[in-house]
Amino acid sequence: MKLKNKLLLAFLFVGILPSILLGFLILYESNAAIEALEYKNMYAHMLSLSENMNNIEEYNYGNEMTIVIEEGDYTNIEEDTLTCIGRIEADNDYQDYGNIKIGKIDHTLYGAKLYEGENRKIYHFHNVIGLNSSLTNLGTIFIKMSLIIITISIGLSLGLSHNITLGITNLVNYIGKVEKGELDFKIPMEKDDELGILTKSFSKMTNRLNTLVNQTLKLEISEKEATLKALQAQISPHFLYNALDSINWQLIEKEDYETSEILGSLSEILRYSIDSKDRMVKVSEEFKQLENYLRIQKNRFEDRLDYEVIFDETLERYYIPKLLVQPLVENAVIYNVEKSFADITINVSCEDKDDHILISIEDNGIGIEQTKLEKLKEDLKRGVKDAKGHIGLLNVNNRIKLIYGNEYCLSIESSSKGTIITLVIGKITSK
């Protein structure tokens, strides 16, 4: 049974049953009290009258009337009354209840007592119309009150159960949404009771979960994009395998050690790029692959490209995200060596700087135009990917922020003398 239904039943029984029982009790007690009161009054009258009165008298007290009759003296009593009294006497000397007509008025007889040895009879009557009227009023009030109490009880049971279960029902609905994977919704905070606290906590938990899921998702997408880009741009497995195969034949035929060295570098890059086991690699490993990459490019561009990769041995035990620096070095080659005829030097270095690592990629190329540089800096600040270019830079920047937090970032400085890209990242000692 649902909680709401349980509450409905509980409130109903709590509200209605006592009210019905109380109603019956009041009714019973009222009835008994009225009768007791009547008898008490009657006997009090009879006793007082029997002591003080000798002649026949009628005493009217509203709906009540007492008649005291000296035995044998019926002269002042109307004929109807005499008939009635005569009938009562004939039936019984002592009656508890009965209706008689005295004059033209109906009376309910509540008691007729014959006092032995007193030579008189005392009768007590009650006006039947008056008595019935008071009892009718009492009954009507009882019925109306009972029905009103029942109605209010049901109304309260409905209202209260709705109020209590509304929060729970909403919470259950929210949990159902989360179960289905829907996390991006707002939970209104209405109450400050225990349920409100529970809902608030659930809301916080959902928001946190949503943020984490979004972060993880963004990170995954970012990494995939980086990997994909790397594979598509330079290190397509098919291209590399074909190239390797071709070079290998050349090496075999010519015993060319220089080419062999390049082949080694290429193989390592290929292995490093397509190995998806580790998301985090040692800084030294990343730098080794940068050297391999630059060696290959050096072979391609010969004297036009010079490079230097400086690795700080103190950073040996730290890890960085795989292929984090590679796109930046790749950019330096593409934008400077490929697009100009000048001799280019690319320096890649890392440095242990207090609680973070500083990686810089420096070239002496053509630099970036001032307006483009400003736009790029703005995009980096906002984390927006510009479809027109620099996706690699923004991608790296986003990865840094997602992995290390917003206080870490990528910065870029450029002039006509060259460009310096600096990465400030945290120190991570395990994968």
Partner 1 sequence: MSIIKKSFLGMGLTSIIWTYGISHVVNALEVIGPFTLVSIRFFIAFAALSIFHKFYGIRRKIDRKDYYRLVLNVIIGSLIYYGISNFTIIYLSAVDSATLSSMQLIFMLWAESMFLGSIVTPKKAFYVVLATIGGILLMKGIVFSLTSMKSYILMLIATCFWVAYHIIQLPLLKKYKATTIIKYQCLYSFIATMPFIFIEDNNFNAMNFSHIASFLYLGIFGIALGYSLNSYALKNIGPTNTSFLLLLQPVIIMFVDLISFGRAFTLSDYFGFLFIFIGMILMIIDIMKDKKEITIGDVV
Residues in touch with partner 1 (CB under 8 A): 2, 4-5, 8-9, 12, 132, 135-140, 143-144, 147-148, 150-152, 154-159, 161-163
What span, in angstroms and rounded, lies between the C-alpha atoms of 271 and 281? Answer: 13
Q: How far is the CB of 142 from partner 1 (least distance, A)?
A: 9
In the complex with partner 1, the residue whose CB is nearer, 136 or 415, is 136
Shortest Å distance, C-beta 163 to partner 1: 7
Cα-based distances in Å from 33 to 1, 36, 169: 45, 5, 51
Residue 346 sits at φ, ψ, to 5 deg, of -115, 125
| Pairing, β 305-310 against β 344-353 | parallel
The letter for the amino acid at 177 is K
**98-102 sheet: strands from edge to edge:** 57-61, 64-70, 120-127, 105-115, 98-102
Determine the residue type at 210: N
Q: How far is the CB of 222 from partner 1 (least distance, A)?
A: 45
Q: b/e map of 255-272 (b: 16 or more CB within 10 Å)?
A: eeeeebebbebbbbbbeb
Which residues, listed in sequence order, are joined to residue 359 by a DSSP beta bridge? 350, 423
Nearest to 284 by CA among 348, 210, 198: 348
- Shortest approach of partner 1 to residue 91 CB, angstroms? 23
| 15/392 with CB nearer partner 1 | 15
Residue type for position 325 = V
Q: Which is nearer to partner 1, 158 or 274 (CB)?
A: 158
H or E, element range at 212: helix 194-233
Q: Which is nearer to partner 1, 9 or 205 (CB)?
A: 9
- C-alpha–C-alpha distance, residues 361 and 339, integer Å: 18
Structure tokens at 358: 């500083």
**Which is closer to partner 1, CB of 28 or CB of 249?**
28
- Largest CA-CA distance found in the chain, in angstroms, rounded: 164
Q: Cβ of residue 33: shortest distance to partner 1, in angstroms?
A: 14
- Quick check: 68 and 60 in contact, CB under 8 A? no
For partner 1, which is the closer residue by CB, 32 or 148? Answer: 148
Residue whose structure tokens are 């040895």: 117
H or E element in which residue 363 lies = strand 356-363
Nearer to partner 1, 23 or 392 (CB): 23
Phi, psi of 289 (to 5 degrees): -70, -30
Task: Identify the DSSP state of 82.
Answer: H
Q: Which is nearer to partner 1, 36 or 135 (CB)?
A: 135
Distance CA 312, CA 308 (A): 13
Minimum CB–partner distance for residue 193 and partner 1 (Å): 16
Q: Minimum distance between the CB of residue 109 and partner 1, rounded to whole angstroms?
A: 18
Quote the least distance from Cβ 159 to partner 1, whole Å: 4
Q: Radius of gyration over alpha carbons of the chain, in Å?
A: 53
What does the chain come to in residues?
Answer: 431
Q: How far is the CB of 430 from partner 1 (least distance, A)?
A: 53
> Does residue 191 sit in helix, strand or coil?
coil
Query: Residue 160 or 373: which CB sits closer to partner 1?
Result: 160
Pairing of strands 98-102, 120-127: unpaired
Question: In whole angstroms, how close is the CB of 160 to partner 1 at the nearest point?
Answer: 8
Considering the complex, state which of residue 162 and residue 300 has its C-beta at the smaller distance from partner 1.
Answer: 162
Beta bridge partners of 428: 319
Q: Judged by CB, which is closer to partner 1: 96, or 378?
A: 96
In whole angstroms, the minimum distance from the beta carbon of 35 to partner 1 comes to 13
